[in-house]
Amino acid sequence: MRLSSVEVIPYALPFKEPYVTALGSLTQREMVLLRVRDEDGVVGLGEAVPLALRGGVGLREVVRELERWGEDREVDGLSAPSRCAVGTALMDLRGRRVGKRLGEEARDEAVECNATLVAGPPAEVAAEAERWAQAGFTTFKLKLGSESARTVPQEPFSRTRWAGDVEQVRAVREALGPEVRIRVDANEAWDLETAKTTLAELEPFGIELAEQPVAGLEAMAELAALTSIPLAADESVASLAEAEEAAALDACSYTGIKLSKVGGPEAALAIADVIPSYVTSALDGPVGIAAAAQVALSLAETTHPERLHLAHGLATQRLFASTIAAVECEVRDGMLHLPPGPGLGIEIDEDALQAHRI
């Protein structure tokens, strides 16, 4: 399979409302589309989401890396987002060449997703939860810890503080009742004592899991021994080696996997073989979401298929005001439905892509 051309296209999608977490408030998501074409004219799509707010490489560096890869095809030295884009584009190309969706024969499978609720005043968070519930969602992920928001210079955001993590959870539980599942994510914002106290206050509300409440696997392991709420890693597990360390320390019951964080689909499945996993969005565009959805479907082939009851964090396209895709995954009744075409099935709207280029 010889490539005849490689395009590296940075673009940004605006959010409908600012995306507020413990790390700040984003108004748009910057990404890089990688488009490869083979000598037969078949196209493969990949996507990189720079994770500068998490201490990773920024947009310019990812663009430089992918442009360099387009010249020398050398994967060594690429950052995780760039490896993700390359691996996804080549997998998509292979799928399109043989006329099959990646890893699956069936065309009608869908992935259960959680609602993603940004931090805010409790009444507003509860009202937004009700809107997601009306759209068929039964698992709700609340972004907490914004009182500890830290100033990080790599991406444009405004510092926002909302008091009352516990009050937000209480408001959602009271609004939606006892049957729905609630998980929380603090993005490492709490220290150990704050996490211990906050999770103790949250226990009566029936929390499904707490994602990355503290920084570092050792602190996670210490906290896991102090709470009945299952912990899930995110920032602390970005590689197979870290997954193996987390398992050895009993630091978490689960880990969330972002493809751009770990380096692509193959790396994601290797981690899921070590720790029961669910797949989450790094606020990806349509290409990244489609790749993540296919990884989520492939978790049935890992060593922890019994944990497939967990919803995946892949309905985040609902947060964006626009798209670059003419054909993409569709969110219906709390499920993410894959497009029917071969490979990833994503088709780009060229006019929209040009409008969102940066």
DSSP 8-state assignment for residue 338: P
Q: Give the CA distances from residue 124 to residues 23, 120, 129, 200, 214, in Å, rounded to whole numbers and listed in that order.
A: 20, 6, 9, 24, 26
And the tokens for 317?
A: 């396209």
- Strands 24-38 and 3-21 turn out to be antiparallel
Residue 54 has a pLDDT of: 66
Residue 27 has a pLDDT of: 93
CB contact at 8 A, 294 and 344: yes
| Tens digit of each residue's pLDDT (9 = 90 or more) over 149-196 | 333 333 443 334 345 899 999 999 999 999 999 999 999 999 999 999
**Angle at Cα 56 formed by Cα 50 and Cα 59, nearest 5°?**
35
Residue 148 has a pLDDT of: 38
Q: Which CATH class is domain 110-337?
A: alpha beta
- 217 membership: H or E segment, kind and range: helix 217-224
CA-CA distance, 313 to 311, in Å (whole number)? 7
CA-CA distance, 56 to 80, in Å (whole number)? 9
Residue 1 has a pLDDT of: 75
Locate CATH 3.20.20.120 in the chain: 110-337
The sign one gets for the Cα dihedral 118, 236, 113, 168 is negative
Q: What is the CATH number of domain 3-103+351-356?
A: 3.30.390.10
Ranges of beta strands (E only) in the chain are: 3-21, 24-38, 43-48, 110-112, 115-117, 139-143, 181-185, 207-211, 231-233, 254-257, 277-279, 325-327, 330-332, 335-337, 347-348
Rounded to the nearest 5°, which phi and psi values hold at 250? 55, 45
Residue 340 has a pLDDT of: 87
In this prediction the pTM is 0.91
Sequential pLDDT tens for the chain (358 residues): 799 999 999 999 999 999 877 667 889 999 999 999 999 999 999 999 998 766 789 999 999 999 999 999 999 999 999 999 999 999 999 999 998 765 554 445 899 999 999 888 999 999 999 999 999 999 999 999 875 333 333 344 333 434 589 999 999 999 999 999 999 999 999 999 999 999 999 999 999 999 999 999 999 999 999 999 999 999 999 999 999 999 999 999 999 999 999 999 999 999 999 999 999 999 999 999 999 999 999 998 888 776 678 999 999 999 999 999 999 999 999 999 999 889 999 999 999 999 999 9
Locate CATH 3.30.390.10 in the chain: 3-103+351-356
Nearest residue to 242 via CA among 274, 210, 282: 274
3-state secondary structure 85-154: HHHHHHHHHHHHHHCCECCCCCCCCEEEECEEECCCCHHHHHHHHHHHHHCCCCEEEEECCHHHCCCCCC
CA-CA distance, 306 to 308, in Å (whole number)? 6
C-alpha dihedral, 121 to 124 to 127 to 131, nearest 10°: -120
- 323 membership: H or E segment, kind and range: none
Locus of tokens 């993590």 = 165
